[in-house]
Chain A
Amino acid sequence: MLKAEAMVHGAFSPADFLVIAPVAVCFLFGAVLLMARKRVEWHPFVAIPGFALVLGIDVALLLKVAADGPQTMMMGNWRPPFGIAFTVDMLGALFAATAGFVALCAAIYATFSMSRTERRYGFFPFLFLMMGGVSGAFLTGDIFNLYVWFEVLLIGSFGLLILGSEHEQLDGATKYSFLNLVATTLFLITTGYLYGLFGTLNMADIAQKAGRFENDGALLTIALLYLVAFGMKAAAFPLNFWLPASYHTPRFVVSALFAGLLTKVGVYALIRVLLMLFPPQHADLATLISWVAILTMLAGALGALAQSDLRRLLNYFVIAGIGTIFAGLAVTDPGSGAAPAVVAGAAQAAGTITAATGDAAAAAPLLAQHPGAMVVALSGAVFYALHSIVVMTALYLAGGTAARLSGSSSLFAMGGLWRQRPGLAALMLVFLLSVSGLPPFSGFWPKVILVRGAFQAGLPLLGAVILLTGFLMTVASARVFAFAFWRNPPERGAGTDGASFPPQKEPVPLLSMLPLLMLAVFVVIAGILPQWLVGLTDVAARGVVDPAAYVGSVFGGGS
């Protein structure tokens, strides 16, 4: 390999650049907006087309991946495993496209909801830089590069978090910054160990080589450290306390993006690294992950029940959602060894069962298709993660509108919004029902899949806690709706909290409802016609469980 052919001599086709375009476009627009920082009134006119462009590229990439399988671009035309690879499979493309969608919605919302002075500190440039980091994390195929994107999105999020420099924000930002910095440092430490063991950082290369280290204690240590690092980023139970301390302090639109995107980047990295690269170690850690999932769900749901502030309640909804996603990661196929054997083994088992019933001929097409419990649960987890990105962003945006209308985000002080803004109330109800997992909205189907996967894998407790969490979240959602929307506005000064001074109500332009409507359309369509999305997440889950296509895309035929 160490020859002159270490570099590929051949021109890139323009389509190859699609793989890095989301990152490049984000940074380009971020840089342009930074140069035009004195002209704040121009920012939305540049930013909204910019985010529309990013979304367009993400969707084009998704369609290309759906048609042709995983796409790879090697930076500097190096031959893998040298050089940095950007590899996009269905999992990354789905996350990137959903992230682009909510970023566009948030940009439109910010245009109509933020005053000029709030924008002066550079909201849109930071938003682009953070989105560049988020897109990079979803698209990269190199584990050290993934660390770099984590830091890029982190520095962008620091900037967004402290916009305005209020007391609360400085308090929240301090905790957020330290905890996240320690988490990414842990990620880097683990990557150092990984490099010492494998001598490579290319994920496809690691996936190929990991099979040689079966039952190796060092590999289990690395897998566990990654679980801790990404669990901290994702706010999974024992490491979740930074999230409710900070996510309610910035502007609502910033909270919305954080809640939608940042924790999901941690989940994505966990799926990519733990499930795709180290399947035997993942099987060893599955029991631990299922307990983490159970405790995270309960901590989130019970925490939400205990809050009297709408924003802090939503913080706990984020945590409950993370727990539900983790539930899907806790499922393994019994006796799973090396990754490619998993699907084949499950198909074989399915074949034996069907053959025993005497219908072997009809089962033949099913042989290659029948998914194992792990694929089912992972597909549900990915679906739930995408749903959670959209619905958590939507809840914070709708909650922000409600708080502006009533001048407070305390449930003691809010009220009467149903009469005042029936459209907003209807949208909020859609989002609340969806986040609780009630039909016919997008939260229902992934929960069905996850519960089915949990029972299929013999984890009845996990399935029961998913259902219990759904119930508790319904109670918390009902409380939000009953207090903030249904009841009459409370008498001034009658409450015990937040009503001691007259709340400052702000007018809300009707156009700021447009992003809410866009998000609601996704929630309803994904709830009523889930097949197309389930089809895509199934492909994503299969690609993770059996990364042959991913590896093939990087190394191609000629290496």
Chain B
Amino acid sequence: MEATLSLVVGCLFAVALYLILSKHIIRMLLGVVLLSNAVNILIFTAGRVASVAPPLVPEGAGAPLSAVANPLPQALILTAIVISFSFFAFLLVLAYRAYQDLGTDDTDRMRVAEPENDGLPPLGY
């Protein structure tokens, strides 16, 4: 099970990296989404996948009596999902505003903040 999931994570990483290397912001955004989902599966796999009992403590006992599934990765993933979703929403709006304002989603042509041919600094006065 872990091996299969590792392969899935690897494929997702590869696709995400390929998309992020693009110079169009919309493709980079899709890459970021895939990357954050790949991380979630990675954490899930790192917490060991096994078909065991749910992590419930019976009444009166201080600890679970048999082996139970690991609940911590799910808490981590939940946090990561919320964070990556809010970031994706922000980036989506930012990319749209940048496209409206700058008239391009090609990162090579987004040179407002760092103009080309800046020239030499003042050398003497």
Interface residues of A (CB under 8 A from B): 2-4, 144, 148, 151, 154-155, 158, 162, 165, 167-175, 177-178, 181-182, 185, 188-189, 191-193, 195-196, 244-246, 248-249, 305-308, 411-412, 479, 482-483, 487, 490, 496-497
Sample (23) of A-B pairs whose CB atoms are under 8 Å apart: A151-B87, A170-B97, A171-B113, A172-B113, A174-B98, A175-B107, A181-B91, A185-B39, A185-B84, A189-B39, A189-B42, A193-B42, A195-B72, A245-B114, A246-B113, A306-B120, A307-B121, A308-B118, A308-B119, A412-B122, A479-B122, A483-B122, A490-B125
| Cross-chain contact A2 with B63 (CB below 8 angstroms) | yes
A182 to B17, CA, bound (A): 10
B-chain residues with CB within 8 Å of residue A171 when the two chains form the complex: 98, 102, 110-113
Could you say which of B25, B36, B94, B113 has the most chain A C-beta atoms within 10 Å of its C-beta?
A: B113
| Cross-chain contact B102 with A181 (CB below 8 angstroms) | no
Give 1 or 0 for each of B73-94: 1 = CB within 8 Å of chain A CB: 1001001100110110011001
A162 to B91, CA, bound (A): 12
Interface residues of B (CB under 8 A from A): 20, 25, 28, 32, 35-36, 39, 42-43, 45-48, 62-64, 72-73, 76, 79-80, 83-84, 86-87, 90-91, 94-95, 97-98, 101-102, 107, 110-114, 118-122, 125
| Cross-chain contact A170 with B101 (CB below 8 angstroms) | yes
Contact of A192 (CB < 8 Å), options: B35, B39, B84, B98 = B39
Contact of B20 (CB < 8 Å), options: A182, A192, A307, A496 = A182
A177 to B64, CA, bound (A): 44
* A155-B90, A170-B94, A171-B102 known; A196+B32 contact, CB < 8 A: no
Closest B residue to A247 using CB positions: B113
B91 to chain A: closest CB distance in Å?
6
A-chain residues with CB within 8 Å of residue B47 when the two chains form the complex: 195-196
| Cross-chain contact B101 with A174 (CB below 8 angstroms) | no
B-chain residues with CB within 8 Å of residue A189 when the two chains form the complex: 39, 42
A532 to B79, CA, bound (A): 41
A154 to B62, CA, bound (A): 40
Contact of B46 (CB < 8 Å), options: A2, A165, A196, A308 = A196
Closest B residue to A249 using CB positions: B113
A248 to B105, CA, bound (A): 21
B-chain residues with CB within 8 Å of residue A170 when the two chains form the complex: 94, 97-98, 101-102
